[in-house]
Structure 1
Amino acid sequence: MKRSEHSIGVLVFDGMKMLDLSGPAEVFSEANRFGGHYRLTIVSVDGGPVSSSIGVQVPVDTDVSAAPAFDTLLVVGGDRLPQGHVAPDLAAAARNLASQAGRVASICTGAFILGAAGLLDDKRATTHWQHTELLARRCPTARVEPDALFVRDGCLYTSAGVTAGIDLALALVEQDYGADLARSVARSLVVYMQRAGGQSQFSASLQGPAPQTPVLRQVQDAVQADPTADHTLEALAARVRVSPRHLTRMFRTELDTTPMRYVELIRFDMAKALLDSGHNATEAAARSGFPSYESLRRAFARHLGISPTKYQRRFTTTGAGSRAPRGSR
């Protein structure tokens, strides 16, 4: 029995991220090979072609005013969206198309367009890990989830950075045609049906600004200079000549964390860098200040949801022409 057609409208604009379009489009196209029935329509505000992030012109099927009602509206992202305000006509286009769509989804920074259109108000959402804090400020009533690869809130879907659009598209295929068909698509495209861990496995743990308070900068410098030294709360407080309680208060006020969590994050980032450079997990634990491999493993489980070994296999190399990490066989 032939399945009914599922129409997808993709809202594009000048400066759009090419992979935000091509990644999900390949998923839907591949789904058609396995029995799905998706039809994509590319929409721009005025119906004219748009330039992509890689300089390629993207042809457009129709303008917003002539677009039909879609089963799914997909809004792509672009590098300039977080830095500047979303053009009013683009926000209006998303709002008008969404009002007629069965479900609405954004890829990466496309969430900023949904936010400007008022579609994230009182909704759970996510975007690229670099911009989650900014999205939360732009959309104060939205509940932004910084570590999710994609988030569903009713008929609204938002995804994390770039390739997470593929994860979201697979989830939509599974919703439309079942897990078996989605699994066939994932196998054909050689991607995970569901990736382990969230966005934090791709982000820098200490991505925020450096501490402004001289005492906190001293603590940071001391830990980074010798991560294997004694960095208990008492030792750190004594080093900068304040009480443990006052040091803890300073960390909470300026960095919204505790001294011990901050020490662990510095060691954790160092351990990741050591793994990236080819050291095995035991070496990485010792050189970054963790007392044992087991303590490093627990830190990886807390922050990434995967083991150091899995992290190294997944992110150190594509596997093409590479050698095994030093000390591992």
Structure 2
Amino acid sequence: MTRVVFLLVPGLHLLDLSGPAQVYSSAADLGLGYELRYVGEHADVPSAQGVMLRAEPELPSLCPADLVLVPGWRSPRLAGTGVLTDATLAWLREHHAAGGTVASVCSGADVLGRAGLLDGRRCTTHHELQDELERRYPHASVVRDVLYVVDDRVVTSAGIASGIDLALHLVTTRHGPTAAAAIARTMVVYARRNGGEHQASVLLRHRSHVNEAVHRIQDIIETRMTDRLSLAELARLSGCSERTVTRLFTRATGMTPLRYQQALRVERAEHLIGHGTTVESAARMVGFEDARMLRRLRSRPGYASATPRS
């Protein structure tokens, strides 16, 4: 039985807590072997939304398989907020040193920083807190505007709903994408958002299936979105025949691997164009040889977006 221990800080955001808690509660319902615990320095913990929570006031002994997760709290700034004792910070530090995993949502990254767990590691937090986190922990490498970052069993995520993405990623790492997809369906959310994505609507629309082979192919395409990927190479990398790749992928996603890659490229290009990049530059940045193909795809049904055409 793996324990997921939530460290409750006064003023915590309910969704920072309830999102990951629901993921692991659903995982337990599926028989994946999780026990949820809620601990804090005080038995009564007020939330930012006014709901009073109850916590175990004694910190448990942990084993390396256990996860400690720190939800964020209402924090226009980090300095002077989320105060915890040195004993609690040492408990976090010792758990990681013994081989355990620690994670945070939003401002919870500051707790990991105070425990010394961000030094020399990549991390992230809510976009409104990134500058302050960087100033407070100059030996950390703050990755901006991503959903979550994993570095040597220290897992940090952005604000609020990204805690769900973090938890689903950890479930995927331990149990595979099929388990994560089943949990996401139970929660009525899409199965996966990759940590490095800002907003991945194409990925989300086509990740709600449970075919692990197709998930692997999608991982390849997403990682190498700008490369020329032949069907033969996808087949080799995924360990399937070309015919099987096409059949499984189309059945699971409703599109061919090439169309999926094009949709990802167009979506990324739309984002770049919406932030001031020219169509020509955006086309080259996402892997098109020139802007003609991008313009053609942007005009087709199924590739359209709300971004004004240029």
Q: Shared fold (TM-score greater than 0.5)? A: yes
1:68 aligns with 2:57: no
CA distance 1:110–1:308, shift in 2 (3 Å): farther
Match of 1:14 among 4, 10, 16: 10
Question: Which residue does the alignment assign to 2:107?
Answer: 109
Whether 2:118 is the aligned partner of 1:120: answer: yes
Distance 1:200 1:134, change over 3 A: farther
Matched, 1:97 2:95: no
Are 1:42 and 2:38 counterparts? yes
Instruction: Verify the 8 A CA contact 1:90 1:113 in the aligned structure 2.
Output: no
Shift of 1:109: 1.1
TM-score (norm 1): 0.59
Q: SS in structure 2 opposite 1:80?
A: coil
Match of 2:159 in 1: 161
In structure 2, the gaps of 5 or more residues are 201-270, 288-296
Q: 1:195 to 1:143 in 2, by over 3 A?
A: same
Q: Is the Cα contact below 8 Å between 2:45 and 2:55 reproduced in 1? A: yes
Q: Secondary structure at the match of 1:192?
A: coil
Residue aligning to 1:54: 49
C-alpha root-mean-square deviation of aligned residues, in Å?
A: 3.5
Classify the secondary structure of the residue corresponding to 1:129: coil
> 1: distance between equivalents of 2:194 and 2:285?
13
In the TM superposition, 1:241-320 aligns within 5 A as 271=274, 294-295=279-280, 298=283
Partner-residue secondary structure (3-state), 2:72: coil
The one-letter code of the counterpart of 1:59 is R
CA shift, 1:55, in A, is 0.2
Q: Distance in 2 between matches of 1:34 and 1:311?
A: 36
Q: How far did 1:117 drift?
A: 1.8
Residue in 2 that maps onto 1:251: none
Structure 1 residues 156-194: Cα deviation after superposition (integer angstroms, max 9, x where no partner): 111111111101101111222222211211222232332
Tell me: CA distance 1:289–1:95, structure 2 relative to 1, closer, same or farther (3 Å).
closer
| C-alpha displacement of 1:95 | 3.1
CA distance, structure 2, for counterparts of residue 311 and residue 134 of structure 1: 38
Displacement of 1:118 in angstroms is 1.4
Quick one: percent identity of the two aligned structures?
35
Give me the whole-angstrom Cα distance separating, in 2, the residues matched to 1:142 and 1:311.
39
User: How many residue pairs were aligned?
Assistant: 224
Cα distance in 2 for partners of 1:83, 1:169 equals 23
Report the counterpart of residue 170 of structure 1 in structure 2: 168
Deviation by residue 1:221-277 (Cα, 9 ceiling, x = unmatched): xxxxxxxxxxxxxxxxxxxxxxxxxxxxxxxxxxxxxxxxxxxxxxx89957xxxxx
- 8 Å CA contact 2:104, 2:112 repeated in 1: yes
